[in-house]
């Protein structure tokens, strides 16, 4: 229990009520005398409770301090009131004074019990907050580990495909293989730099996507046509790193690449009603007959969304108007 002005005012108010009650039932000879005595007893008991709970190190010690503070504080209060009242204390120290002292002790015991319960409630509340904080930190670490694992699954998936293509190009087109290797090194360097940073933005994601598409452009050539429609004011928005790449890779691998004439990939972003809406649309082969937007990359994205935003984010994959597939990603802005 720590000292506070509202607590002190509460003690003074209760002491005043006790003095009024004693005067109303005829104890003592005046309200002023009862007021002085009541304040002395109440404040001494309060001071004893405050000192005892502050110095006691254990809950049992605090309880003992509360018990001892009542009689000791009452005795000290009577002595202090006697000094303050002087000759008038003789009237109060008559037969009725002991009734007043008894009532004061009862009130003091009640006040001490209330203070003790308040102190225990504050202690339990602090323990609950500390426990909740530990659980929140543990949950944050668990989610962080899950996100790192999911992100780590994306990079090898793309890397192995690129290295396989590089192996083919080394024999058939060494010049393009050299350019592909240079772009791959630049993409890896940018990815490593971004993953070491605590925060990432939509601009970081778009930059990595451009490097990623440069790599695929060397392999697909004019069959891959890309367009970005992302307003500059959205580039600084916080955004999970490598969240869009699986959607782009899925659109190219299953939509554009199987077609002889290739197709167009369009990435757009808008902000509406506090939600960030991003679409990855292609004019490729479209969804398979039994396709429902499932697969390794899409499932990875959905798991990361659940870990980061719970039910507040959504990924919807459906047939594009006219031809191809469109993936709509919606997250809190």
Decide if 284 is inside a domain: yes
Do residue 300 and residue 190 come from a single domain? yes
In a domain, 166, yes or no: no
* Domain assignment of residue 108, given as a range: 5-131
The torsion angle over the Cα atoms of residues 103, 109, 112 and 117, rounded to 10 degrees, is -130
C-beta separation of 204 from 192 below 8 A:
no
Q: What is the pLDDT along the chain (333 residues), one digit of tens a residue?
A: 455 677 777 778 877 887 787 777 776 667 887 788 778 887 887 787 777 767 766 767 776 777 777 777 777 877 787 788 776 555 555 545 555 566 656 666 666 666 667 667 777 888 888 887 777 776 666 655 554 554 555 455 567 777 887 888 888 888 888 888 888 887 777 776 666 665 788 998 898 888 888 888 877 888 999 999 999 999 999 888 778 888 898 888 888 988 888 899 999 999 988 899 999 999 988 876 544 455 667 887 888 888 888 888 899 998 888 788 999 999 987
The verdict on 318 and 197 lying in the same domain is yes
Backbone φ and ψ for 56, nearest 5 degrees, come out as -70, 140
What string of DSSP letters covers 191-243?
HHHHHTSS--BHHHHHHHHHHHHHHHHHHHGGGEEEEEE--GGGTTSB--TTS
- Examine the domain organization and report whether 123 and 198 are in the same domain: no
**Element spanning 330, H or E:** strand 325-332
Position 200 in a domain: yes
Structural domains in the chain (count): 2
């Amino acid at each position: 229990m720590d000292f506070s002005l509202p607590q002190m005012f509460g003690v003074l108010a209760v002491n005043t009520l006790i003095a009024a009650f004693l005067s109303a039932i005829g104890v003592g000879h005046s309200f002023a005398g009862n007021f002085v005595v009541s304040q002395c007893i109440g404040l001494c008991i309060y001071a004893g409770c405050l000192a005892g709970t502050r110095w006691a190190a254990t809950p049992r010690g605090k309880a003992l301090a509360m018990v001892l503070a009542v009689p000791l504080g009452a005795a000290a209060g009577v002595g202090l009131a006697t000094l303050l009242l002087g000759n008038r204390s003789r009237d109060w120290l008559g037969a009725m004074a002991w009734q007043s002292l008894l009532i004061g002790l009862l009130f003091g015991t009640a006040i001490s019990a209330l203070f003790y319960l308040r102190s225990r409630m504050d202690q339990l509340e602090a323990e609950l907050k500390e426990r909740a904080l530990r659980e929140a930190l543990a949950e944050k670490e668990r989610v962080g580990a899950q996100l790192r694992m999911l992100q780590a699954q994306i990079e090898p998936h793309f890397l192995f495909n690129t290295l396989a293509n590089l192996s083919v190009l080394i024999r058939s087109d060494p010049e393009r293989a050299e350019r592909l290797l240079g772009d791959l090194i630049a993409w890896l360097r940018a990815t490593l730099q971004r993953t070491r940073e605590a925060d990432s933005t939509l601009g970081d994601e778009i930059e990595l996507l451009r490097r990623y598409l440069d790599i695929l452009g060397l392999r697909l050539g004019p069959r891959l046509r890309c367009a970005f429609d992302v307003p500059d004011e959205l580039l600084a928005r916080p955004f999970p790193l490598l969240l869009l790449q699986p959607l782009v890779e899925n659109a190219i691998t299953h939509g554009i690449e199987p077609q002889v004439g290739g197709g167009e990939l369009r990435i757009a972003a808008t902000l509406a009603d506090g939600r960030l809406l991003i679409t990855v649309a292609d004019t490729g082969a479209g969804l398979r007959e039994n396709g429902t937007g499932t697969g390794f990359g899409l499932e990875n994205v959905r798991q990361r969304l659940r870990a980061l935003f719970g039910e507040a984010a959504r990924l919807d994959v459906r047939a594009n108007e006219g031809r191809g597939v469109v993936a709509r990603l919606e997250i809190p802005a």
